[in-house]
Structure 1
Amino acid sequence: MTGVALAPDRPTDNPAGKPRTPARLPGDGRAAYLFLSPWVLGVVVLTLGPMLTSLYLSFTDYDLFGAPRWIGLDNYARMFSDARWLNSLGVTALYVALAVPLKLAAALAVALLLDNRRRGQGFYRAAFYGPSLIGGSVSVAIVWKVVFSDDSVVDRLLRSVGVDAGGWAGNPDFSVPMLVLLAVWQLGAPMVIFLAGLKQVPRDLYEAAEVDGAGRWRRFASITLPMISPVVFFNLVLEVINAFQVFTSAYVVGGPNGQPAGSTLFYTVYLFDRGFGDYRMGYASAMAWMLLLGVGLVTVFLFRTARGWVHYAGDAR
């Protein structure tokens, strides 16, 4: 249109058309720190504070009543000449070596059985998961000890089939297997995680393998295990860490001395006895840090070896 002057375009603040970020309002940072403060306070007071205190006490001779006396690395050096400490280390290692693979195998087997749709599936899942909710209670450990004591239900069942092993709770050869069975009975938590992993496996892989003539075991070894290997690894790390820290069941069954004959003297039981039985809190603190170091080394080893058998989506292997 003639006679009409067009106004020049106004310069824009965002000539490249980049998406704008929302403006930061005054007080946003203070509000964030306010909501984070309970967590930060809990970490500092309930986690970092006690950890640093125990680290300091591990280098001292402290009996809970007098002032800590600095002795350097004596507590750590004393462990390797402590027969009970070495025994607790062996008992705990045996328990971890037996309980972790058996519990994971049982949890995966139950998860495979419950993965298919069937009547009463929800009931079976709840029934298998139930023991995990009460697994750490003292009452369960007491009942377990009574069930495996001399002339109890288990002893009578075994004698009925010609096996006279006596009470497992009082037999040094069967006390650790008894606690391993208790751990396997509490398979609910890893079972639920395995179930979630099995749901993510594409069904067309099984159909293609079945068309090619692969049997049930072949499909499990070539499809199921590789596809859920990250879930297996996750459960493995959690169960190894938990197994090193077992305390309640071992203490109820064997007491502070790990009866019978020191066969249930787990690492945490001996740590508790040294700290609150003998009042050697400095030595107990050193034991706690050695446990942390040992669990950390085992975890690092698991992560290093996982590169060869754990497969993730999009992995080039």
Structure 2
Amino acid sequence: MKAKAAMESTPVLQRATRTKRSGETFYGWLFASPWVIGLLVFFAIPLVSSFYFSLTTYSILQPGEFVGFGNYAALLSDSVFWKSIYNTVYFVVFFVPLSIFFGVALAMLLNMRVKGMPAYRTVFFLPTLVPSVAMAVLWMWLLNPGFGLVNGMLDAVGIQGPAWLGSETWSKPSLIMMSLWGIGQSVVIYLAGLNDISSDYYEAAEIDGAGWFGKTRNVTLPLLTPVIFYNLVMGMIHAFQQFTLPYTMTGGRGTPADSMKFYVMYLYDNGFKFFKMGYASAMAWILFIVVMALTALIFATSRRWVHYQGE
């Protein structure tokens, strides 16, 4: 009788369990629905729409015509498009490694046990709090070839400073220098990574007779590679989207001689100045594919040079 009663109660328990699970699933989706709706409305739908628009001559004011991959083919013969790619790649190739080098170096200096170190850390972090437009105006004054502070200091030691932002040769190096001035945020991340390294590793290195250079090479840098990896990916993505500084300093013109015409600036011009939204969407998808490919490459190679504690 007990066995029979147990067999009869099993379906009831199973139905109750299914009802409970379905209720939990319903409330789970209910609480997650604001995020899901936001993801669909502000990301998924615009993403699919932009790809469709990249295949048309859509211009905001007019629906346009379907041209297939015509916009992508037109980009290949666009000289300004290639110039913007060159400028952007130039910035990425130089800025990202320099930001990592100076970021790690500054973090190691700011990690020293020196009196008043919190004040020094604050000084190096302050530039990140300055709005990009204000920073552009500040550096335009500092790099002014006539009365700028930088050329004034160079003149004091007998060096004639260049035109900086007015020179096709020096415009991009000037922008790199400005951007390096604001790496305080990555320095803070490097400091957190340095503080996360156990002192046991340094004690073991000292026992083996390692000096400062040996500990830096064999302990600090290898165990800091996860943080370097993170900043490398984020810095690369940010560098490819360089926009505010060059746009503010040149008024959107990218002068001199388009040497400051970056990829996102040209994308913005096509979309919101010339109303060639289909053309701009094609540029956006090319940028998306390039950034995704480089990010995947960095992740694929990270196994060879990223080291985690305990592994």
Please indicate, yes or no, whether the TM-score normalized by the shorter chain is above 0.5: yes
Amino acid corresponding to residue 187 of structure 2 in structure 1: M
CA contact (8 A) 1:64 1:279 kept: yes
Aligned residue in 2 for 1:7: none
Offset, 1:302: 1.1
For residue 158 of structure 1, the aligned residue among 154, 157, 161 is 154
Contact 1:91 1:265 in 2 (8 A): yes
Q: TM-score, normalised by structure 1?
A: 0.87
Structure 1 134/260 Cα, relative in aligned 2: closer, same or farther at 3 Å?
A: same
Larger Rg: 1
Report the counterpart of residue 168 of structure 1 in structure 2: 164
Choose which of 278, 284, 301 in structure 2 pairs with 1:305: 301
Residue 68 of structure 1 and its aligned partner are, at CA, apart by: 2.3
Deviations 1:72-93, CA, capped at 9 Å, x for gaps: 0011111111111001001000
- Equivalent position SS for 2:306: coil
1:174 shift after superposition: 1.1
1:48 and 2:36 aligned: no
What is the identity, as a one-letter code, of the residue corresponding to 2:134? Answer: S
C-alpha separation in 2, matches of 1:174 and 1:216:
37
- Determine what percentage of the aligned residue pairs are the same residue: 40
Q: Quick check: 1:276 aligned with 2:248?
A: no
Q: CA deviation at 1:178?
A: 1.1
User: Which residue of the partner structure matches residue 14 of structure 2?
Assistant: none
In the other structure, the counterpart of 1:76 is 72
Shift of residue 70, structure 1, vs aligned partner? 0.4
Q: CA deviation at 1:250?
A: 1.1
Give the Cα–Cα distance (whole angstroms) in 1 for the partners of residues 250 and 42 of structure 2.
30
Q: What pairs up with 1:176-191 in 2 under 5 angstroms?
A: 176-191=172-187
Structure 1 residue aligned with 2:134, among 139, 142, 150?
A: 139
What RMSD in Å do the two structures reach over aligned CA positions?
2.1
Deviations along 1:109-139, whole A, 9 cap, x unmatched? 111112233322222222222222335x312
The offset of 1:25, in angstroms, is 7.5
CA distance in 2, matches of 1:304, 1:243: 20
Q: Which moved more, 1:214-223 or 1:280-289?
A: 214-223
Count of aligned pairs between the two proteins:
295
Deviation of the 1:47 alpha carbon? 1.3
Structure 1 match to 2:103 = 107
Residue 256 of structure 1 pairs with residue 245 of structure 2: no
* Counterpart for residue 236 of structure 1: 232
1:186-206 Cα offsets, whole Å, 9 max, x none, are 112211111111112121222
Q: TM-score under structure 2 normalisation?
A: 0.89
CA deviations 1:273-309 (Å, max 9, x no partner) are 1111211111000000000011111111111222221
Deviation at 1:167, TM superposition (A): 2.8
Cα distance in 2, alignment partners of residues 212 and 190 from structure 1: 32
| Unaligned runs of at least 5 residues, structure 1 | 1-10, 12-20
Q: 1:117 aligns with which of 113, 116, 124?
A: 113
Q: CA deviation at 1:215?
A: 2.1
Given that residues 104 and 187 in structure 1 are in contact (C-alpha distance below 8 angstroms), is that contact kept between their aligned partners in structure 2? Answer: no
**Structure 2 portions without partners, runs of 5+:** 1-5, 7-16
2:143 aligns to what? 148
**Which contiguous aligned blocks of 4+ residues in structure 1 show a shift greater than 4 angstroms?**
23-27
Secondary structure of the structure 2 residue equivalent to 1:70:
coil
What is the Cα deviation at residue 34 of structure 1?
A: 2.7
Amino acid at match of 1:144: W
Residue 95 (structure 1) shift:
0.2
Deviations 1:117-170 (A, max 9, x none): 3322222222222222335x3122122222212221111112222221333111
